[in-house]
Amino acid sequence: MQHAARRVLLLSVGYGRGHHSAAAALAEEFSVRGWQTRTVDPCAMSSPRFFGLTQRFYNFCVRRMPWLWGVAYSCTDTADWRGAMCLPVMKGCMRVISGLLEEYEPDCVVCTYPLYAYMLDDMASRGESVPPYVVVVTDAREISRPWMLSCAPLVCVPDELSAEKVVGTFGLDSATVACTGFPVRRAFSCAAAHTPPTADNLRIVYGAYCSTRRVCRDIKALATAYPLADITVLAGQRSRGISRLLRLESVCACVHVLSCTDRMDTLFAHAHLYVGKAGAATVFEAYAARVPLLVNFALPGQEQGNLELLMEDGAGEWVDSTGDLVLAVRRLLRDGASLWSSKVRAMETAGRSGGAPCIVDKVEGLLV
């Protein structure tokens, strides 16, 4: 008699790329092991207008006023979300989750956003049937209080120091906190070994999170210093404006401006460098693909830990200006790209991106 496959419900949210990317990697790993998976964004399902407003606020802060996001993020570090479950917007989200539990009957729930764990806490406290649930933290080092105060029996963090810090800071049982690495889809680590870069074959992926003028200065300076380089610019909603400014600056050859892509794995498979934001998904996907990073943008608080991790590992650098960027690329290419090669080795040795198999192992151990 064939046993029914286990089921996992993955709860994610659309703020940045990190939460959805982690959920996608975990869904892939669970599926490989024969689990049935379902990934849902309860916030978007329950209150699409309210969620849309908060998402636009997040995007506005990222693009225009990162300091404001830093203020908002620091406020969450003193917040206790357990008391917010009585709010109407929270109740609507909990109704969605409750319906999913009843209809899908998962063996386990994995939350890549901490809010859902508090909702599951509340539902369990009211006598609802709630399966075991796990929290997967999507940033390193700078981990705010809301990630840590739920009753989840397992909290997965990306690195060893993060685990030590949250145990010490929040008084958690060390058995509850697991250092797993960040979950990354297999396609990123399947990239072939890169040929070391030279001035003639340099390939760069550039995430356009700085101001439009800074982006165009950076691209023009790179194209001038390395006229044979191939540069892909991920420009989002500013793709037309950035393309127009680059044309006015006569920067067109070998520069490709994309509004969006769902194939970061393909871009990283052919890239020598990533220049841009220290978002968790991008950082750990770059680790998996062994693409060194030059970071020119990091959200205060939230992403500073990712940058700290990169620099400690010797896998990336902070570039504060266009001049710093060009000098950093020059150093990486010097002496047969010896510094670039050392960063690639550091990324491989660090083993930061193997989180999906490790997390699924932990989940399966939780259910034994």
User: pLDDT tier at 30 (50, 70, 90 boundaries)?
Assistant: very high
Tokens at residue 345, please? 């080795």
Name the most confidently modeled range: 87-101, 322-336, 354-368: 322-336
pLDDT-above-90 percentage for the chain:
52
CA-based nearest residue to 159, from 175, 176, 146, 140: 140
Whole-number pLDDT of residue 78: 64
Name the most confidently modeled range: 61-75, 164-178, 289-303: 289-303
Whole-number pLDDT of residue 252: 60
Tokens at residue 16, please? 């940045």
Give the residue-averaged pLDDT of 112-129. Answer: 91
Whole-number pLDDT of residue 245: 83
Per-residue pLDDT tens digits for 146-159? 778 888 999 999 88
Give the type of residue at 245. L
236 DSSP assignment: G
Give the residue-averaged pLDDT of 163-167. Answer: 85
Residue 141 to residue 157: CA distance in whole angstroms: 9
274: β partners? 205, 293
Give the residue-averaged pLDDT of 18-40. Answer: 95
Per-residue pLDDT tens digits for 338-359? 999 999 999 988 888 889 999 9
User: pLDDT tier at 173 (50, 70, 90 boundaries)?
Assistant: confident
Whole-number pLDDT of residue 298: 86
For the sheet with 273-277, list strands across it: 255-258, 230-234, 203-207, 273-277, 293-297, 316-318
Give DSSP secondary structure letters for 147-177.
GTSS--SEEEESSHHHHHHHHHHH---TTTE
Whole-number pLDDT of residue 39: 97
User: pLDDT tier at 161 (50, 70, 90 boundaries)?
Assistant: confident
Per-residue pLDDT tens digits for 279-314? 889 999 999 999 999 999 888 777 888 999 999 999
Whole-number pLDDT of residue 5: 87
Among the ranges given (117-131, 239-253, 322-336, 354-368), the one the predictor scored with the smallest mean pLDDT: 239-253
Give the residue-averaged pLDDT of 89-104. Answer: 91
Question: Which comes out higher in pLDDT, residue 46 or 191?
Answer: 46
Give the residue-averaged pLDDT of 167-191. Answer: 85
Q: Is the pLDDT of residue 75 over 60?
A: yes
From residue 135, how far is each of 86, 114, 176 by CA, in Å?
21, 7, 10
- The average confidence (pLDDT) of the chain is 87
Whole-number pLDDT of residue 2: 46
Whole-number pLDDT of residue 11: 97
Please give the span between the terminal C-alpha atoms of the chain, in angstroms, as a whole number: 21
204 with 273: CB under 8 angstroms? yes
Whole-number pLDDT of residue 253: 65
Q: Is the pLDDT of residue 320 over 90?
A: yes
From residue 290, how far is each of 58, 87, 174, 271, 315 by CA, in Å?
29, 44, 31, 9, 9
Per-residue pLDDT tens digits for 190-248? 655 578 999 999 999 999 888 888 999 999 999 999 999 999 999 888 888 888 888 87
Whole-number pLDDT of residue 131: 94
Residue 94 to residue 112: CA distance in whole angstroms: 16
pLDDT-above-70 percentage for the chain:
94
Tokens at residue 172, please? 């958690």
